[in-house]
Structure 1
Amino acid sequence: MSGNLDVLQMKEEDVLKFLAAGTHLGGTNMDFQMEHYIYKRKSVYIINLRKTWEKLLLAARAIVAIENPADVCVISSRNTGQRAVLKFASATGATTFHGRFTPGTFTNQIQAAFREPRLLIVTDPRADHQPLTEASYVNIPTIALCNTDSPLRYVDIAIPCNNKGHHSVGLMWWMLSREVLRMRGTISREHPWEVMPDLYFYRDPEEIEKEEQAAAEKAVGKEEFQGEWTAPAAEFTQPEVADWSEGVAVPSVPIQQFSAAAASAKPSAAAVEGLTEDWSAQPATEDWSAAPTAQASEWGGETAAWS
């Protein structure tokens, strides 16, 4: 489909992207209808990337031929292609069905999710067999990313590639999005597309959580290390102690004035006794061992006669 035009030829950076993502690596089995897309076999079947590029251009031309971009329906029931499908729909304006496909979407007019697309694109013909079968009932042309062992029944345009790896699937949807935008004239072929293929790759939620946890631990460790070794020592300055007596209002106490007669008066004996009493002196101890003095009995005279 390139028509020997230099502008449509596959560039070296595109080939390097295909090889890095493993797009050329097929499966261990081969469908007889996929035989002419295979270059050779080396433990697994190797896909001819030139034919992959030609079919990619053909699929992009079929998508551009649809006047309303919303009439193009893209489907991926597998997790590895759901993010890529959403990104493709966001870039080109297509309608997406990610996750489980509801049977009867193309044939049952009663249900609320009924759609009549003009073009159908699926990620895996084996996993997305239900929408392919319904598309054949209502004469919808179909495009599919096909591996070496994928069945080509009800598939009109097969793009040979590795549809098992999440890197390969994301790269193929990125390539298809870029070619559609180039053929529409949205982006130029002279400048690289600013959107990176990494945005189309599937990421495992557990892997994302582990990366975030590792990044948080690394940040905490870096802060502790900087605080212990590389942080400059804080300069210690002696705080200035304020004088508490300053600014405190001291009430004035009136001084009592005594007359000369009162000052020369002699104090009384009781006052002198109270003033001269030494409180620190030990009190006189009583001798408890001494015999008590005999007291006269009041009952019977001086001595009591019991006999």
Structure 2
Amino acid sequence: MSELTEATDIKKKILATGIRVGTQVKTKFMKPFITKASPEGLYMLDLDITLERIKTAAKFINRLGTDNLIVCSARQYAETPVEKFCEMLDSKKLLRRFMPGTLTNPSLPYYIEPKVVLISDPQVDEQAIIEATNAGIPIIGIANTDNITSNLDVIIPANNRGRKALATVYWLLVRQILIERGELKEEDSMKYEIDDFETKITEEEIE
């Protein structure tokens, strides 16, 4: 299968996941990544740019090493995607509340010194961004149309609220990192599918 058909196949596969569906708000930071608004008034993100940025992020992470990466997310729907991502790439995860001083206070028992930080939402993961910025650690962030991204070094424009969308972003990123490393060919299937990366909702949560 050629790279072109593979890229088309990937696009088809992920279009239905809502990865490019934004919110009804757009910030000046996210304007370059928006193509149009849907009939419901939701701003839509440019999928080609998202895929390009995933490639950029994968190169960046590989250069510094996945073992030097810490993935932070206080968003519930990001938990399974982050866990799968870290399991496959041997990265560290910090889920739920980000403890103050984690990146800036060496006297704390949970202090860590990563070389790169990946966050799921600039708004929810603000504490992680503040500390990484103060510590001079580069930040890769998944950002929606309404996010402020002034402190992100690499922006991955994508829907960072939806369960399937978040699963898709992390799945694509793992896939690209493995391709960059030469551990996976463009046409190969991964061990896990997007569904495996998705946070499942229990019956109680629905009610």
Normalised by the length of structure 1, the TM-score is 0.63
The residue aligned with 1:60 is 58
After TM superposition, give the deviation of residue 33 of structure 1 in Å: 1.1
Give, in whole Å, the separation in 1 of the partners of 2:190 and 2:155: 25
Check if 1:48 corresponds to 2:35: no
Choose the corresponding residue for 1:25, options 21, 27, 32.
21
**Residues 1:188 and 2:180 aligned together:** no
One-letter code aligned to 2:203: E
Unaligned runs of 5+ residues in structure 2 are none
Percent identical residues = 29
Secondary structure of the equivalent of 1:15? helix
3-state DSSP of counterpart to 2:160: coil
1:50 positional shift: 0.6
Indicate how the Cα distance of structure 1 residues 118 and 12 shifts in structure 2: closer, same or farther if over 3 A, else same.
same
Matches within 5 A, 1:157-168: 157-168=154-165
Deviation at 1:70?
1.9
| Aligned-pair CA distance for 1:9 | 8.4
Partner of residue 132, structure 1: 129
Distance 1:58 1:206, change over 3 A: same
Q: What CA distance in whole angstroms lies between the structure 2 residues aligned with 1:151 and 1:209?
A: 30
2:109 to 100, 108, 112: 112
C-alpha distance in 2 between matches for 1:184 and 1:198: 24
Work out whether residues 10 and 53 of structure 1, in 8 Å CA contact, stay in contact via their aligned partners in 2.
no
1:74 and 1:120 in contact (8 A); partners too: yes
Aligned-residue offset at 1:83: 0.9
Question: What code does the residue aligned with 1:99 have?
Answer: R
CA contact (8 A) 1:18 1:24 kept: no
1:155-180 Cα distance to aligned partner (Å, 9 max, x none): 11010110110100011000000100
Question: RMSD between aligned alpha carbons?
Answer: 1.9
Specify the SS of the correspondent of 1:56.
helix
If asked which structure has higher relative contact order (CA below 8 Å, sep 6+), I would say 2
Number of matched pairs:
204
Post-superposition offset of 1:66: 1.4
- 2:11 maps to amino acid: V
The change in CA–CA distance for 1:90 and 1:198 in structure 2 (over 3 A counts) is same
Distance in 2 of aligned mates of 1:135 and 1:8: 37
Unaligned runs of 5+ in 1: 1-5, 211-307
Tell me how far 1:120 sits from its aligned partner: 0.3
Which one-letter code corresponds to 2:192 in the other structure? Answer: V
The answer (yes or no) to whether the contact 2:86–2:93 under 8 Å persists in 1 is: yes
Task: Give the distance between the partners of 1:194 and 1:138, measured in 2 at CA.
Answer: 35
Question: CA distance change for structure 1 residues 66 and 8 in 2, over 3 Å: closer, same or farther?
Answer: farther
**CA-to-aligned-CA distance 1:175-227 (integer Å, 9 cap, x gap):** 000100111112222322231111110112336999xxxxxxxxxxxxxxxxx
Q: Between Structure 1 and Structure 2, whose CA radius of gyration is higher?
A: 1
**TM-score under structure 2 length normalisation:** 0.93
- Report the equivalent of 1:305: none
